[in-house]
């Protein structure tokens, strides 16, 4: 079984030294959330993820969720662990105190999301979608709906889902067929089928609150005719007690490559009673409140799985002896494989991306809080634009890199990595869904280029590149960070040139642009990670006298990133601007 130790030192370094967003620090609601409180929460989070949840990863993989006589049964140990999980208040960590939450910021909950993803993604998914549903209801539900449903969701005794996909539509939601017929009392009866519903049914909570996209009888065609509905698995009475079973049933659960402990369900709605959430025919807009936050969280899943894969590959490389290294001093026997240059390269590739991604996600967590809670509308909007820009980047880059890292970890284990005993091949299988769900990574790249580069508030990418340029200019003034800043500036220029090419090509050939989207996202993503590393370096050189071992490690890891990872940008750029003529004219037999 894979082992795991939460990277608390790295997380606390970010919380203590890189909470540098002035607008975030101005938020009154988080004034009392200091480093001591953060450390206490994260230490407790580490204990529950390492000791209680980590063993569930292997259990869930070997004993998948099953459907028996219409009842979904989770793997052994899940119910007991979930009971402890909600008793300790982990579902309420980032929720509004008004509904029983603890009100912690995403600068803390993001780290917990990573820990959970490392320990057991299957188990995490049962509470993750609940938080997404909670956020959607919080922002778009009426006061009576919020009062009726949110407290029990915050407690964790009720869970939530997101029901979008149907047999006829995945990404293209304009094709969905689920119908909602309004009733005299203002409720609706929903009929239709939803597929691939994560945590769609299970035995962990007393009720499940489904958020369902559907069409009313008079809805216009396409995405403009979609409304959002809250449909409980079990109806809730006026006094908030549970009533009869709603007309929602589980048709089947999917047999999957990975995340086998998570119930991925086909749900049938047969005139199920529901309540409209948000304005009529604006359901997709309301659901995006949940989807956009979920996309960031999926990126964190990729980061969390990368972290545990790296830890196990590092530990194995120190123990496994094979061959003599180029600088071996042994007369007999073999060196540990960590002494071989290529293994060290692979490990540093993992480490430099993981730590850079974690710094980027921490920066994004601060921006997210500003976008939600700052009292100056202009500042709030600027932060929201940056979050919108970076959401597809974090979702795609972190999960794609997660596939690279879990594959490399298996390679370091060699033949043992291909067997089930070590738990490494499970990490590869579990992570494989992350580039697919919540919008495939290709869809994220298209969204970035065609929707996010420019919006009604102006060119968001120009604002971001200027932000990076300002950071580079500051770092150039420091002799220790100057070289790093100059290297990043070279790649920032490539990003700017690529952006200009995209803008020009958009007028002449959208196929050229479509064919370049994935390359563009990776260029932007690597620049963003590079900028995060630059911020880490600024602190590391200043603080090195206080903790030489820790900060030397940061500096040396950053050197690898700037020398070995950032140059990938050159290839992505050249590939991206090569056009689409060959692609579109090619005849497949």
Catalytically annotated residues: 438
Q: Residue 153 and residue 144: Cα distance in Å, rounded? A: 15
Q: Residue 187 and residue 8: Cα distance in Å, rounded? A: 48
Task: For 258, list phi and psi in degrees, rounded to 5.
Answer: -140, -165
Give the bridge partners for 215, in sequence order.
179
- Which residues does 225 contact at the CB level (< 8 Å), separation at least 6? 215, 216, 219, 281
If DSSP codes are grouped into helix, strand and coil, which group holds residue 348?
helix
Angle at 457 between CA 452 and CA 460, to 5 degrees: 45
Asked whether the beta carbons of 268 and 323 are under 8 A apart, the reply is no
Q: Residue 180 and residue 182: Cα distance in Å, rounded? A: 6
Task: For 580, list phi and psi in degrees, rounded to 5.
Answer: -125, 5
Burial of 367 (0-12, 13-18, 19+ CB in 10 A): buried
Q: Residue 373 and residue 137: Cα distance in Å, rounded? A: 17
Residue 220 is classified by DSSP as: P
Distances (CA, A) of 252 to 193, 247, 574: 11, 16, 46
Which string of DSSP letters, residue by residue, matches 33-68?
Answer: --HHHHHHHHHHHHHIIIIIIHHHHHHHHHS--EEE
Return the exposure string of 235-248: e unless at least 16 CB atoms fall within 10 Å of the residue's CB, then b.
ebeeeeeeeeebbb
Asked whether the beta carbons of 65 and 56 are under 8 A apart, the reply is no
Structure tokens at 79: 């119910």
Burial of 130 (0-12, 13-18, 19+ CB in 10 A): buried
Distances (CA, A) of 469 to 58, 472, 485, 495: 46, 5, 9, 12
Residue 195 is classified by DSSP as: E
Return the exposure string of 534-545: e unless at least 16 CB atoms fall within 10 Å of the residue's CB, then b.
bbbbbbbbebbe
Structure tokens at 465: 């590149």
Count of residues in the chain: 589
Task: For 77, list phi and psi in degrees, rounded to 5.
Answer: 90, -20
């Amino acid at each position: 079984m894979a082992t795991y130790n939460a990277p608390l030192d790295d997380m606390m370094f970010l919380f203590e030294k890189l909470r540098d967003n002035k607008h975030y620090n101005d938020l009154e609601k988080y004034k009392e959330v200091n480093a001591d409180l953060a450390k206490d929460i994260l230490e407790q989070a580490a204990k529950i993820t390492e000791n209680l949840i980590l063993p569930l990863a292997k259990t869930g993989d070997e004993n998948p969720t099953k459907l028996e006589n219409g009842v979904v049964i989770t793997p052994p140990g899940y119910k007991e662990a979930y009971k402890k999980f909600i008793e300790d208040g982990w579902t309420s960590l980032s929720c509004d105190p008004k509904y029983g939450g603890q009100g912690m910021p995403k600068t803390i909950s993001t780290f917990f999301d990573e820990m959970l993803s490392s320990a057991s993604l299957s188990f995490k998914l049962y509470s993750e979608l609940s938080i997404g549903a909670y956020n959607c209801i919080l922002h778009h539900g009426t006061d009576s709906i919020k009062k009726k449903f949110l407290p029990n969701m915050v407690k964790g005794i009720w869970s939530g889902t997101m029901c979008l996909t149907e047999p006829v539509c995945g990404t293209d939601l304009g094709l969905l067929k689920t119908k909602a017929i309004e009733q005299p009392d203002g409720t609706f009866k929903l009929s239709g089928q939803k597929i691939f519903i994560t945590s769609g049914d299970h035995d962990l909570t007393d009720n499940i609150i489904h958020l369902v996209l559907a069409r009313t009888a008079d809805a216009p065609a396409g995405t403009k005719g979609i409304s959002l509905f809250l449909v409980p698995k079990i109806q809730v009475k006026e006094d908030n007690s549970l009533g009869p079973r709603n007309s929602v049933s589980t048709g089947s659960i999917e047999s999957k490559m990975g995340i086998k402990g998570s119930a991925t369900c086909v749900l049938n709605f047969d005139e199920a009673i529901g309540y409209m959430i948000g304005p009529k025919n604006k359901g997709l807009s309301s659901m995006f409140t949940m989807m956009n936050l979920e996309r960031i969280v999926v990126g964190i899943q990729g980061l969390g799985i990368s972290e545990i894969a790296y830890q196990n590959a590092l530990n194995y490389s120190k123990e496994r002896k094979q061959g003599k290294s180029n600088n071996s001093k042994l007369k007999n026997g073999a060196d540990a494989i960590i002494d071989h240059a290529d293994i060290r390269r692979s490990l540093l590739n993992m480490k430099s991306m993981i730590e850079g991604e974690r710094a980027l996600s921490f920066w994004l967590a601060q921006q997210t809080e500003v976008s939600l809670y700052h009292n100056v509308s202009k500042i709030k909007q600027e932060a929201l634009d940056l979050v919108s820009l970076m959401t597809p980047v974090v979702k795609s880059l972190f999960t794609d890199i997660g596939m690279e890292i879990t594959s490399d970890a298996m390679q370091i284990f060699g033949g043992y990595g291909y067997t089930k005993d070590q738990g490494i091949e499970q990490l590869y299988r579990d992570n494989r869904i992350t580039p697919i769900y919540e919008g495939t990574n290709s869809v994220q790249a298209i969204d970035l280029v065609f929707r996010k580069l420019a919006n009604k508030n102006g060119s968001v990418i120009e604002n971001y590149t200027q932000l990076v340029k300002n950071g580079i200019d500051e770092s150039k003034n420091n002799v220790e960070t100057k070289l790093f800043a100059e290297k990043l500036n070279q790649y920032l220029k490539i990003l700017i040139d690529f952006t200009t090419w995209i803008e020009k090509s958009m007028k002449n050939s959208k196929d050229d642009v479509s064919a370049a989207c994935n390359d563009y996202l990776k260029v932007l993503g690597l620049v963003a990670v590079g900028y995060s590393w630059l911020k880490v370096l600024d602190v590391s050189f200043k603080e090195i006298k206080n903790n030489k071992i820790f900060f030397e490690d940061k500096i040396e890891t950053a050197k690898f990133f700037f020398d070995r990872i950032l140059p990938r940008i050159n290839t992505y750029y050249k590939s991206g601007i090569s056009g689409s003529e060959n692609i579109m004219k090619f005849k497949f037999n």
